[in-house]
């Protein structure tokens, strides 16, 4: 039976808001010490204060090795780092490969998107994994687990989503290879691929747009709740026979072209 190991800590990137905040609250409520690794200092600090003990905000640039290492050190100070949830976001570019004016898509936008969502994810994966791998194994040899975040856009990218879809497809492709890599050191790796989730950013589009999004979801005909992402992350961290898996969390939604 899966369980989260008492006395452990988890690093959550993007933990100051949205899906990451939900994961922070869920795991802290389960008794795991939490590091909120984010650049949103005001929100992250307020969340850590709200949670009280065994929670800390660390300003973290996921693409910077020293910055991530600092967050990992704080996590180790709070408990034995056994878990990581990689859920950061905050950037997007919407461009067709050939734009309406006949010019090509901006290469800088593509590169920045990959840097954040794919390179940043890999940076966190490699640095948290090496720390988790140094811990004491359980009876079955497991030392910990990592959950990454993709998107169903990684399977069904829409018009204008080439950069985002490529980055998230990269995370999907990374999952099994990383799980195989890290099996020898007792670290599991899984990924959640959310559909349309009711994050604060998504709510900002207005009720009419939200209703339109919900109408395209077979069942339940609504947007996903961040708490449902958090439940999925907790399950993947705790269930010790799930490894190398990408879990769609989308109400059977499949993105159309636009």
Q: Which residues are catalytic?
A: 164
Rounded distance between C-alpha atoms, residue 247 and residue 34, angstroms:
23
Phi-psi region of 95 (alpha: psi -120 to 50; beta: other; left: phi over 0): beta
Helix (H) or strand (E) holding 76: helix 65-78
User: Nearest to residue 40, comparing CAs of 24, 17, 22, 21?
Assistant: 17
Contacts of 16 (CB under 8 A, 6+ apart): 36, 38, 40, 43, 44, 47, 57
Rounded distance between C-alpha atoms, residue 59 and residue 88, angstroms:
12
Instruction: Give rounded-to-5 percent helix, strand, coil for the chain.
Output: 45, 20, 35
**SS3 per residue for 135-164:** CCCCCCCCCEEEEEECCHHHCCCCCCEHHH
């Amino acid at each position: 039976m899966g369980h989260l190991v008492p006395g452990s800590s988890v690093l959550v990137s993007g933990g100051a808001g949205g899906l990451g905040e939900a994961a922070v609250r869920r795991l802290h409520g389960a008794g795991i010490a939490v590091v909120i690794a984010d650049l949103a200092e005001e929100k992250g600090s307020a969340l850590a204060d709200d949670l009280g003990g065994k929670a800390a905000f660390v300003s973290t640039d996921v693409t910077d090795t020293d910055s991530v290492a600092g967050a990992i050190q704080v996590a180790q100070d709070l408990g034995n780092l056994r878990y990581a949830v990689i859920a950061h976001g905050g950037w997007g570019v919407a461009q067709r490969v050939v734009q309406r004016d006949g010019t090509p898509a901006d290469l800088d936008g593509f590169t920045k998107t990959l840097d954040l969502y794919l390179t940043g994810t890999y940076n966190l994966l490699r640095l948290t994994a090496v720390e988790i791998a140094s811990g004491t194994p359980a009876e079955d040899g497991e030392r910990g687990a990592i959950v990454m975040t993709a998107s169903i856009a990684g399977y069904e990218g829409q018009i204008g989503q080439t950069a985002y879809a490529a980055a998230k497809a990269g995370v999907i492709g990374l999952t099994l290879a990383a799980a195989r890599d890290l099996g020898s050191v007792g670290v599991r790796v899984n990924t959640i691929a959310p559909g349309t989730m009711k994050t604060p950013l998504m709510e900002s589009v207005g009720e009419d747009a939200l209703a339109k999004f919900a109408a395209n979801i077979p069942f339940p005909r609504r947007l996903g709740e961040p708490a449902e992402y958090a439940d999925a992350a907790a399950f993947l961290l705790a269930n010790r026979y799930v490894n190398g898996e990408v879990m769609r969390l989308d109400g059977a939604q499949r993105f159309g072209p636009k």
